């Protein structure tokens, strides 16, 4: 690994501790969840689940060594932790920076590149894979320095942890590197499906990783099974439309659905349709029937 800058919520200590545990053969790993399948809690992940997830990602994205990747996520959470597992299991070289809003600028700080040398130095580093949250990718693309040549050197880029806005999807159309929105959660040990957002035309569906089975229940909630769930069906609170045994269209959270006279309205889809980053949708208070959606304006 590259040098790690000090003290960012003890991220260095978290990484070191996990790597020691993993390389020491530890088989069980407590992990806090985000609440995707219920109230946030702590679950125990088995080593074989994490290995299965790493191998499925590597196969789906063709991330075979030699490869140099960037870890810029918090390793206390599953997204950052699985980057470590992929690197250790896959034999990758891994550049590590503290989780910040602009990871390329964090690399500049680590290596002390002068401004005029940032882009050529970054390209010389030859990063080939990174996992980002949407805000990080947005900040990279909006930076006064054009970082697209460095991004386009990569084999793949995954974006997760939060929905990808239509505006960010549009910005990604200028990139030649395959950019994927991820679907997954702590309980599935990171992502189990990918959606290429800068395909031509952009995909509106997710495709599962190798070894993942999907179905929906009576509430149209997505159910997932594979080695990452120890071959047990995991019921999510995400409603989905199945397009094939490997493809589904995400509709929204079951807990957020507005029932308007028997018609299901998904706020997440409407928010995307009107592309208002500062608007949120919710139900009109039930003074009259049927209930309908109402825009809540949120200041930036």
Write the CATH number for 179. Answer: 3.40.50.12780
Beta bridge mates, 239: 221, 252
Number of domains in the chain: 2
146 and 273 share one domain: no
Question: Which residues are CB-contacts of 108 (< 8 A; sequence separation ≥ 6)?
Answer: 118, 121, 122
- Residue 7 pLDDT: 43
161 and 294 share one domain: no
127 and 276 share one domain: no
- Residue 275 pLDDT: 57
Separation in Å, CA 27 to CA 9, 50, 152, 231: 26, 10, 37, 17
189 and 267 share one domain: no
Beta bridge mates, 130: 70, 157
> Quick one: DSSP state of residue 218?
T
Instruction: Spell out a b/e string for 244-255, using b for 16 or more CB atoms within 10 Å of the CB, else e.
Output: eebbbebbbbbe
159 and 287 share one domain: no
Question: Shortest CA distance to 58 belongs to which of 153, 129, 163?
Answer: 129
Q: Please give the backbone phi and psi of residue 198, each rounded to the nearest 5 degrees, phi first.
A: -120, 30
Is residue 224 situated within a structural domain?
Answer: no
88 and 152 share one domain: yes
| Residues 179-216 pLDDT 10s | 999 999 999 999 999 999 999 887 999 999 999 999 99
- Residue 141 pLDDT: 98
Q: According to DSSP H, which parts of the chain are helical? A: 11-23, 47-61, 78-90, 103-111, 118-125, 134-142, 148-151, 166-172, 267-274
Tokens representing residue 119 in the block? 């882009």
Question: Shortest CA distance to 189 belongs to which of 40, 298, 15, 51?
Answer: 51
Is residue 28 situated within a structural domain?
Answer: yes
Give the side-chain half-sphere CA count within 13 A for 228: 30
169 and 274 share one domain: no
Give the Cβ contact number of residue 79 at 10 Å: 23
24 and 121 share one domain: yes
- Residue 264 pLDDT: 52
Give the side-chain half-sphere CA count within 13 A for 181: 21
pTM of the full predicted structure?
0.85
Q: Which of 210, 242, 277 is the last residue of a domain?
A: 210
Answer for the pair 97, 39: CB distance below 8 angstroms, yes or no.
Answer: no
294 and 181 share one domain: no
Q: Please give the backbone phi and psi of residue 45, each rounded to the nearest 5 degrees, phi first.
A: -95, 140
Instruction: Spell out a b/e string for 20-54, using b for 16 or more CB atoms within 10 Å of the CB, else e.
Output: eebeeeeeebebebeebbeeeeeeebeeebbbbbb
Q: Which residues of the chain are modeled with pLDDT < 50?
A: 1-8, 259-263, 277-278, 287-291, 295-296, 298-300
- Residue 33 pLDDT: 85
Q: Which of 210, 226, 246 is the last residue of a domain?
A: 210
Q: Report the distance separating Cα 38 and Cα 46, nearest Å.
A: 20
267 and 203 share one domain: no
276 and 148 share one domain: no
Is residue 108 situated within a structural domain?
Answer: yes
Is residue 90 situated within a structural domain?
Answer: yes
Is residue 141 situated within a structural domain?
Answer: yes
For 281, the domain range is 258-300
Give, in degrees to the nearest 5, the angle at Cα 199 between 211 and 176: 110
281: left (phi over 0), alpha (psi -120 to 50) or beta: beta
Q: Which of 210, 239, 268 is the last residue of a domain?
A: 210
Is residue 191 situated within a structural domain?
Answer: yes
Q: Report the distance separating Cα 279 and Cα 197, nearest Å.
A: 22
205 and 299 share one domain: no
Is residue 249 situated within a structural domain?
Answer: no
Is residue 149 situated within a structural domain?
Answer: yes
Q: Whats the size of the chain, residue-wise?
A: 300
Most distant CA atoms of the chain, gap in Å: 63
């Amino acid at each position: 690994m590259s040098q790690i800058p000090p003290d960012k919520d003890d991220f260095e200590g978290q990484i070191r501790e996990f790597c020691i545990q993993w390389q020491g053969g530890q088989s069980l790993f407590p992990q806090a969840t985000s609440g995707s399948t219920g109230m946030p809690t702590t679950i125990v992940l088995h080593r074989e689940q994490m290995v299965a997830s790493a191998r499925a990602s590597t196969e789906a994205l063709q991330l075979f060594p030699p490869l140099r990747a960037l870890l810029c996520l918090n390793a206390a959470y599953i997204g950052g932790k699985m980057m470590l597992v992929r690197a250790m299991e896959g034999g990758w070289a891994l550049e590590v920076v503290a989780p910040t809003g602009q990871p390329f600028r964090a690399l500049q700080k680590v290596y002390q590149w002068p401004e005029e040398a940032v882009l050529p130095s970054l390209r010389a580093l030859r990063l080939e894979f990174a996992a980002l949250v949407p805000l990080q990718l947005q900040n990279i693309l909006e930076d006064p320095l054009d970082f697209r040549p460095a991004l386009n050197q990569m084999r793949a880029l995954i974006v997760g942890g939060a929905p990808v806005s239509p505006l960010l999807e549009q910005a990604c159309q200028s990139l030649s590197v395959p950019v994927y929105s991820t679907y997954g959660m702590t309980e599935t040990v990171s992502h189990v499906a990918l959606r290429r957002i800068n395909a031509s035309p952009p995909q509106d569906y997710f495709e599962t990783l190798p070894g993942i089975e999907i179905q929906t229940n009576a509430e149209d909630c997505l159910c997932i099974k594979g080695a990452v769930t120890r071959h047990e069906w995991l019921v999510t609170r995400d409603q989905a439309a199945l397009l094939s045994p490997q493809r589904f269209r995400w509709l929204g959270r079951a807990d957020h659905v507005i029932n308007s006279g028997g018609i299901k309205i998904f706020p997440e889809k409407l928010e995307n349709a009107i592309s208002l980053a500062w608007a949120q949708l919710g139900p009109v208070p039930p003074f009259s029937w049927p209930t309908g959606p109402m825009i809540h304006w949120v200041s930036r």
